[in-house]
Each structure stands twice: as C-alpha cells, then as structure tokens.
Amino acid sequence: MAANSPIASSNGRVLVVDDHARARESMADVLRHAGHQVQCCTCAAEVLQVLQSTCFDCIVTDLKMPGMTGIELIAELRQRQCATQIVMVTAHATVATAVEAMRHGAFDYIEKPFEADALERLVTQAMRHGRLIHPEPADALAVADASSPAMIGSSPVMQTLRTRILQIGPTSETVLIMGESGTGKELVARAIHAASHRHGTPIVSLNCPVLSAHLMESELFGHEKGAFTGADAPRTGRFETAHGGTILLDEVTEIDLPLQAKLLRVLQEKSFERVGSCKTIHVDVRVLATTNRDLHGEVSAGRFREDLYFRLAVLPLVVPPLRQRREDVLELAAYFFKRSAQRLQRETCSLEPAAEQLLIDYYWPGNVRELENIITRACVLTTTGRVTADELSRWLIGSPKENDASPEENVPVGISLEEMERRLIEATLEHYGGHRARTAKALGIGIRTLSGKLRQYGYAPREKSFTTETMIRM
C-alpha cells in the first residue's frame, strides 16, 4: 500500500492456502499491499494446525491441493464451527465445484486468471460479511437477534430504519435499498436477509459496476459450454446459486438496458435461460437491490427501464446519510475504535473533546465508510492513544467552517461545470489515495465512468501489481 493511501476499513488477518509457492506468495503480496496481515500455509492439514492458536478474518484457499482438497477443508472447518469467511480460488474448468463449495459455506469464489483488484475486493467483501453476521454482542444493536448484522446508532432515523427492516424482513418481497455511497446499504440488505425465513440459506451478492455487459449476463444467469469464445465449460450463474435464498444486486443501475429486460423477466416469472441454452430454469430467489442514484432521474433520462424500476421498488427503503444522524457519530466512532483495537491488538484509543466536536460538525461526504476509515487510520497512526482535532483535521475534506459556509461562499463563481467536476473528481481521488473503486463509490458513479473521465484528464491507466498471466501459470 502506498504511503499516502488511506487505511482500508476492513483490514484484517488473512490466511492464504496454496501448495504452489509462486501462487501463494503472489496472492499474499497483493493482500499485504492492501494493508492486511497475511500468513501462508501449503496444505489443508497445516491450516487446521495453525487455526488452533490463531484466528483469521478470511481464508483464501486453492481448490485443488494434495491431500485434503479445498472443499474438504471447508467441510472440516464448518464441522468445527469455524466462523472465518472462506474465498475459493479455482480454475475455469472447476467453477461448478467452486459453486458447490459456496453451498457448503464458502463466501464466494474467484476464477483464475484474475487481477489484483478483484482479489483485494473479494477478500474485503468477505471480511465485511463476516463482521456483519458475527458482530460483537456488547456493541452491536442487532435487528432481529444476536446473529443479525450490527446496526449501530440510536438516532430516531436509525430506530425507524430498524422498524422497517423488521417489517420487511419476514416477507419474500423485492426490496430496493436507496442511499448515498458509504451509508451501509449492503449492511441493511444483509439485515433484511437475517430477519427473513431464508436466513439459513445463502445470500449471493453481485457487484454490478465492476462487470461488462457480456460478463454480467453470464454472472447472473450462467452459460453453457461453447456459448461464446472462451466458454470452455458450463457456468452456474448467481441466480441459480441463490436458489432458495437471496440475491443482492449491488448498484443495480449499472446494468445495461438490454440486460435489464432479461432481469425484469426473472423478477416477473422467476425463470431464465443460461447463455447458449434453450432450457428454462426456475428459481425461488428473493431479490434485494441497492442504488446510490436517483432512479426517477435515471428513468427520465432513459438509462433505466421504468417497468424494472416498479418491479424492484415493491418495498423501497432509504438509508439516511451520516450528516442526517449526527447524534450517531460518536457511537459509531466508539464502535470502530474498539473493533480496530481488537484487530491491531492494541489498547483502545479515545477522542479529545475538540476532536469529538470536529467529527460531529463534519458533513461526511463518504458517510459511515469514511468515518470507519478515519478511525482505523487514527488507531494505526496515533502514538499517545488520545486522538486530537489537529490529527483528524488533516484527513477531512475541508474544514468545519467551509462545511458550514453558505452556498454563495463555497461556489467559485464563473468556473465552468466541467472544471468543477474535474476538481471534485481529482480531490476525491487524492482523498482515497488513488483508489479508483473507492473514489467511484464516493462520487456515486460507476468505475468505468470514472476511468473514462480520468482518461480525458490525461491520467495513465492504473498499473496492476498482480498479473493475470502470473496467476494462470501457477
């Protein structure tokens, strides 16, 4: 991780398991670069021995290994009631087996060859999922019971949100979760699933912005062997994997219009065909979707189908931004301080009164995710255990005075909209240490849109620290 990169909100302990030394060390390097503490094992037997004395947030394991296979390892860990999230690494020809591993308890799988960003993103999602479904009971204000995702905050809007989740959860209706980036839409989705009668079944998520239209259709519905160039084996789609459970379509507005029509059919008829197949597959799946966009505006602009909007918005739910529940800021900060101290194995830090007021007054453009990042960074970098306002102010976008200023004082009159947009994008990119995925989420745009804007500004394409060619040879 570069020196100026923000500390990731979900940094944790990762165990990488692979019998091939180059593959093992390459994955470990990527995850260390992302800020995780990484330990490596060469086989499943070694994993079981290490877990007797060490806990991990995520295990990244190869599928095919001598002795105990990846699936056998998952079965053994689940039998021992190990709550660690597991990510399976698989070759293209064994995707069906990897899907079977998910049914046995793996969080998700990643298919060789893959890029560094994909591995980093999946491990982050797995650890977040683990922390949502296994929160610390003393701090977590659960929605339904002790196993539900943590919902931190005592403000009236959060109390209303909890009530709505309890009303919505037990049904099988489609839910559209709306809110700015970083507000916790995925947390709400998993809380709805935890409060439903499907809570014992998988919740399968798909991050829509990161996939092209071609890959999106295959990910959603699967494909048959030979359906297109490179389809060397049949693939099970996310809808089929989620049968009997819940599917979460994260940032659903990023799905292209032609594919929206196919998604509409699934919502209406609960059936679909794999790419390259005429066989109709029927599924029992509850659909949850999230968006950080104004869907009415997207419909008016012709970028989102109106009929699909009405099918998704059977039960609309709005997650409030952090600036609309400032009374929760210190409660959230205390929760993140305690969790960071446990991960870092340090004493819990605290805030000086001026620092507390600074956080309360801040306008939080990145919402809860930004607060978590800042608290984690403070825990890592503080040397006294008491975080001051001066330390925090360096990491906030703008000062409190600028946040409270009137629109006339904030807007540079006479500047073009294009230039304003460029300044905002560059400032946000710098704030997130050049991390494009986080920048895109904070701005409420797709990563492809952001990359296109940066190309216009003359930014070079981001270099990958982990090549797909390296992985395929491992």
Q: What mean pLDDT is predicted for residues 390-396? A: 89
Q: Which band of pLDDT confidence, cut at 50, 70 and 90, is reported for residue 317? A: very high
Architecture of domain 325-456: Orthogonal Bundle (1.10)
| Residue 3 confidence (pLDDT) above 80 | no
| Residue 227 confidence (pLDDT) above 70 | yes
Q: Which band of pLDDT confidence, cut at 50, 70 and 90, is reported for residue 466? A: very low
- pLDDT top residue among 469 and 448: 448
Which of 120, 72, 64, 66 has its CA nearest to residue 89? 64
Write out the residue limits of the CATH 3.40.50.2300 domain(s) in the chain: 13-118
How far is 474 from 470, CA to CA, in rounded Å? 7
Residue range 249-260, pLDDT digits in tens = 999 998 989 899
| Residue 10 confidence (pLDDT) above 80 | no
User: What does each C-alpha distance from 316 to 177, 359, 410 come to in angstroms?
Assistant: 6, 30, 34
User: What does each C-alpha distance from 6 to 30, 394, 420 come to in angstroms?
Assistant: 16, 12, 24
| Residue 137 confidence (pLDDT) above 50 | no
| Residue 146 confidence (pLDDT) above 60 | no
CA 391 from centre of chain: 28
- pLDDT for res 422: 81
At 129, which amino acid appears? H
| Residue 409 confidence (pLDDT) above 70 | no
| Residue 354 confidence (pLDDT) above 60 | yes
Return the CATH number of the domain spanning residue range 135-320. 3.40.50.300
| Residue 465 confidence (pLDDT) above 50 | no
Contact criterion met (CB below 8 Å) for 227 and 276: yes
- pLDDT for res 173: 95
| Residue 6 confidence (pLDDT) above 80 | no
Q: Which fold has domain 13-118?
A: Rossmann fold (3.40.50)
- pLDDT top residue among 95 and 335: 335
Write out the residue limits of the CATH 1.10.8.60 domain(s) in the chain: 325-456
Min mean pLDDT across 15-29, 36-50, 126-140 is at 126-140
Helices (H), 64-208: 70-79, 95-103, 116-133, 156-168, 185-194
Contact criterion met (CB below 8 Å) for 188 and 291: no
Does the predicted TM-score (pTM) go above 0.75? no
Task: Compute the mean pLDDT over every residue in the chain, rounded to the nearest whole number.
Answer: 81
Min mean pLDDT across 173-182, 219-228, 267-276, 357-366 is at 219-228
Q: Which band of pLDDT confidence, cut at 50, 70 and 90, is reported for residue 289? A: very high
- pLDDT for res 92: 59
| Residue 473 confidence (pLDDT) above 80 | no
Q: Is 387 exposed, middle or buried (0-12, 13-18, 19+ CB in 10 A)?
A: buried
Q: Which two tokens stand for residue 150?
A: 């943590």
- pLDDT for res 108: 83
Min mean pLDDT across 50-54, 241-245, 467-471 is at 467-471
Q: Which band of pLDDT confidence, cut at 50, 70 and 90, is reported for residue 8? A: very low
Q: Which band of pLDDT confidence, cut at 50, 70 and 90, is reported for residue 448? A: confident
- pLDDT for res 405: 41
| Residue 140 confidence (pLDDT) above 80 | no
Q: Which band of pLDDT confidence, cut at 50, 70 and 90, is reported for residue 94? A: low
